[in-house]
A and B are shown apart, each in its own frame.
Chain A
């Protein structure tokens, strides 16, 4: 069976494989037999190999060197290009993080391929599905030059185990000077959160301008915690200083596609819809019955979020 290279995306500081990697391994199986590629600092692969094998990696290519972690994006693209040259895979599948998309872009130029970003599905014939224009248009597309490269949008595919050998194969890494241009000197975490990551979460609870203050976002967080959800915010809420920008959902923020999206005090401007429209189930809580968010909602509550949300949080907690 044809080999498909899957770039493993890892959590920082030995935190294991990200769910997006398991999704990519699952999606890659439509095209052939996945091999995982771990490009990281020395000593990383040992801790993630088993998870990669469990989700279908017949081979785990291990490209470990300090430089691949010290410089932005370019070294990873170099290692992948080297593997594409050696293995002639049927395709390359990369999780669609900001870094993943940039690796795909550089790889495409290096190997003379086309690439498709944020695909939500890959069919056996290589046709990919993408959502365009804030989720309003569904597109089918194909790579027509070189080895097809795809980046897979998070939460589009359900990871399914498919145990495989996971045979480790070391890759010699020699990072060129050209790839050592942009040096990462520090990685700073400002908001430490026990909540799931926004783009990976299966439930997202977001607050908008209607939440009315930064302090009042605690009721959004309360509902999120009762559901094990991530917290998001509309641009209006972020611009008003209620919640940090890194939690913004929308056209100029994150795009999420969870099983359940709860929009609280969000009117549903196109800017916001762009980031959440493809969520499987949408619930809206808003006091304005005319709010456009209700057009998207599977379930809507017209009411005051300050009473509905805390009560719902209590009811959900009581059910546990």
Chain B
């Protein structure tokens, strides 16, 4: 069972995140960059499947040189090797373009399963498994809170409002996971040391056979025209409950014509 896990490095959602006014893209260089949180659940799920069924887990990321930190984290959790697609021309690419790069990189790997997180905290689009399924002609098993792989068939519980859909597909397939699927392990000291010796292959667009004209800000299929900070909220009213807090709350709702 060979598994490729897709990992994205993102600006920490717990810190202030900025856009770069020079080109209206996410300001990544100055940000506090971390592994996209939900990707850790994808890595964990890949390791669980591998531990049960054997095989290898390969980490795949597209990102600047700094994304090696995200790769090291995945390797220290227990992934076996990594492919890092890094090319200056990719900067500013949108989701459609990145999916073309990932599809080309996946085309050079052998896998039974591709697993990724269901959403990145920077773009919050939740579309990469659908884009890749479309490009690679693979079944799309997205939004999983549970995964079982048995006899060449993957089955998921796709998380929905108030329940789930049972969805299944023959392998190879692409799965995306929510943070309800497992509890990611912490890298052990041994794992961190071992990660330093694991192979990381760096690939450029030329290595993937992707023409630079399909990527980058200038060739994007969408364009950010402008951005602005959300106007600050006016100072709200704050009352301390002295037995009348509930009444004041209801009076406020009445004033807003809500009750």
Contact residues of A with B, CB < 8 Å?
A: 72-74, 77, 98, 101-106, 108-110, 113-118, 127, 131-146, 178, 181-193, 197-199, 203, 227, 245-246, 251-252, 255, 259-260, 270-271, 274, 277, 281-283, 285, 289, 294-304, 307-309, 311-312, 315-316, 319
Contacts and interface: CB of A to CB of B under 8 A. Distances in A.
A158 B30 CA distance: 39
Given A137-B230, A140-B224, A315-B246, A105 B134 contact: yes
Contact of B241 (A106, A116, A138, A307): A307
A109 B132 CA distance: 9
Given A73-B140, A298-B233, A109 B240 contact: no
Given A102-B140, A308-B249, A316-B253, A191 B162 contact: yes
Interface band, chain B: 35 or more
A141 B24 CA distance: 10
A190 B163 contact: yes
B158 interface: yes
Contacts of A73: 130, 140, 142
Interface string B141-163: 11101000000000000111111
Contacts of B95: 105
Q: Is the interface of B mostly helix, strand, loop or mixed?
A: mixed
A191 B167 contact: no
A246 B142 CA distance: 16
A35 B162 CA distance: 31
Interface of B: 13-14, 16-17, 19, 24, 37-38, 94-96, 99, 119, 121-122, 124-127, 129-131, 133-135, 137-143, 145, 158-170, 173, 178-180, 220-230, 233, 236-241, 245-250, 252-254, 256, 258-259
B223 A301 contact: no
Nearest to B145: A245
A229 to B, nearest CB: 10
Q: Is the interface of A mostly helix, strand, loop or mixed?
A: mixed
A181 B236 contact: no
Give the 9 A-B CB pairs with smallest separation, nearest first.
Answer: A303-B241, A114-B221, A181-B139, A311-B246, A105-B127, A102-B130, A145-B221, A186-B166, A312-B246
Given A102-B142, A227-B259, A131 B230 contact: yes
B126 A137 contact: no
Given A114-B221, A301-B249, A308-B241, A137 B227 contact: yes
26 contacts: A105-B95, A108-B221, A109-B99, A110-B134, A117-B124, A117-B126, A131-B230, A140-B225, A140-B227, A145-B220, A145-B222, A181-B140, A185-B168, A186-B165, A252-B119, A252-B178, A295-B233, A296-B233, A301-B239, A302-B245, A303-B241, A311-B245, A312-B250, A315-B246, A316-B253, A319-B254
Contacts of A294: 236, 238
Given A72-B142, A102-B129, A274-B13, 18 more contacts: A72-B140, A101-B125, A114-B96, A127-B225, A133-B17, A133-B122, A142-B225, A144-B222, A185-B168, A227-B259, A246-B162, A252-B37, A260-B253, A283-B249, A300-B237, A301-B238, A301-B239, A312-B246
Contacts of A145: 96, 220-222
A302 B241 contact: yes
Which residue among A102, A189, A246 has the maximum number of chain B CB atoms within 10 Å of its CB? A102
B227 A319 contact: no
A184 B248 contact: no
Given A109-B135, A141-B222, A188 B163 contact: yes
A12 to B, nearest CB: 9
A302 B245 CA distance: 8
B137 A178 contact: yes
B134 A77 contact: yes
A25 B20 CA distance: 34
Nearest to B100: A109
Contacts of A270: 13-14
A114 B217 CA distance: 13
Contact of A246 (B37, B159, B173, B233): B159
Nearest to A294: B238
B241 to A, nearest CB: 3
B98 to A, nearest CB: 12
Given A146-B221, A298-B233, A301-B248, A252 B38 contact: yes
Contact of A193 (B14, B162, B223): B162
Contacts of B164: 188, 190
A190 B238 contact: no
B241 A301 contact: yes
B241 A187 contact: no
Nearest to A104: B127
A182 B96 contact: no
Given A188-B163, A193-B162, A300-B237, A135 B230 contact: yes
A192 to B, nearest CB: 7
A253 B204 CA distance: 35
A98 B143 contact: yes
Given A110-B134, A144-B221, A289-B240, A303 B166 contact: no
